[in-house]
Structure 1
């Protein structure tokens, strides 16, 4: 606004979480352990898919990209959060804040699009099993991943450029552990109506449309199973779709709880807790869901370890 004194903001202060000083070291160790578990779990899935030729299929191509997205998604926020917990001044540079916001949007959106691609893959595998290899060829898989990357790049860049044009006043304290877009808009002292309109429009496209596409895929899958009901068909559907449905429930359950079920009391605390769920807990649990609930992954793990043992014995 022209009537107010404007200060050039060079950095923001991230308040993080309200933790008692005597519990801070314990929470730091817990958060660090969860982040390391996320890294190791997702790296294990990526390496396992690369090493085992039985997993060189469209479903596991999407899964390896999802694991990479989860790994990067956590790395966007958690290392800086851990650093700030050990710092007397938990700050982040202005440019670093915008970069963090961009990559947070990019990898968060990429996970949503990859889950849609995986749902389509399961739909083709169950509804059109005889034509699966023809439909889900390598060219289509690469195109789906490429389109996902292009759309997420455009979405993240759009919001970052719109945020960069705003002016920020003297208040530079963000009541969050990362540069959340809504928290940044509250600090702006210039007109944010364009930003809010774009958030409303693109938010519906990025969140609602992928969710509806996943629901449509599973409606068709259930309808296909009910046409020829058999215990074998039901077991096959659950074995191939159970892991994917669990991941979808974790991600969209958290997002729906945060954005579609707002609370008036302790909204900041709720937003922070929900953000912890989808930035820390969900990426950490995804590898366990796919390794413990997926027979192919467990079989590949046994084959790779057995092969390593045989080679070391020889």
Structure 2
């Protein structure tokens, strides 16, 4: 029988080995993650509560928010745990599960963004909505294209790490911000929910 060693865990290289940067990076990623959770869950709840948002476009947007929530949650907690505890290993099973969920939700996001872009392209009477959708699509696809199609001569692990952080943490945080800040219907629905919450608290 040939000698062989089964892989039981992987060593995570992380973003930096500098101990002084571990806590600041943890705080930054924690803030990004909190904004991602609040923004995406807020969008889902808002779309469910307001009947004016029960349209195909907001169906896509609600599912995009759910995908972003799960997509970010598949990776970010592991990164933050490594930064906080200094434990930079992950078991084989945990790594496989993380990669599976990351790939599933990233694929769902790709199809949702493509569907939303087509929907806005078809609705030429609403150019602002099309513009905001294309902004998100461009950021997501642009980062992935930059990551995987850059020339090998200029390829850098540090560049890969920054690009990975961008499309696994920053983009899921930006999606609800892009859609809510430039969308009158979402703003109106948000104000309505806040007003109803205030009135229910007063009584």
2:172 aligns to what? 283
Please give the secondary structure, in 2, of the residue aligned with 1:89.
coil
Judge conservation of contact 1:69–1:107 (CA < 8 Å) in 2.
yes
Q: Name the counterpart of 2:159.
A: 270
Contact 1:42–1:67 (CA under 8 A) maintained in structure 2: yes
Cα drift, residue 122 of structure 1: 2.1
Deviation of the 1:19 alpha carbon: 4.3
Q: CA deviation at 1:312?
A: 2.2
Distance between the aligned counterparts of 2:116 and 2:87, measured in 1?
43
Deviations 1:105-153 (A, max 9, x none): 1111110001122123224433xxxxxxxxxxxxxxxxxxxxxxxxxxx
How far residue 263 of structure 1 moved from its aligned partner, in angstroms, is: 4.6
| SS of equivalent residue, structure 1 residue 282 | helix
Gaps of 5+ in 1: 127-232
Tell me what 2:67 maps to: 69
Matches of 2:115 and 2:102, distance apart in 1: 20
| Matching of residues 189-200 of structure 1 within 5 Å | none
User: Which residue does the alignment assign to 1:293?
Assistant: 182
Check the 8 A contact 2:23/2:84 in 1, yes or no.
no
- TM-score (structure 1 length as normaliser): 0.61
Contact (CA 8 Å) 1:72, 1:107: kept in 2 or not?
yes
Rg: which structure is higher? Answer: 1
What's the CA shift string for 1:202-225, capped at 9, x where partnerless?
xxxxxxxxxxxxxxxxxxxxxxxx
SS at match of 1:69: helix
Give, in whole Å, the separation in 1 of the partners of 2:78 and 2:85: 10
The gaps in structure 2 that reach 5 residues or longer are: none
The two structures have a TM-score, normalised by structure 2, of 0.93
1:15 aligns with 2:8: no
CA RMSD of aligned residues (A): 1.7
Question: Counterparts of 1:129-278 in structure 2 under 5 Å?
Answer: 233=125, 236-238=126-128, 240-265=129-154, 267-278=156-167
Aligned length, in residue pairs: 203
Distance 1:22 1:5 in 2: 42
Distance 2:155 2:18 in 1: 18
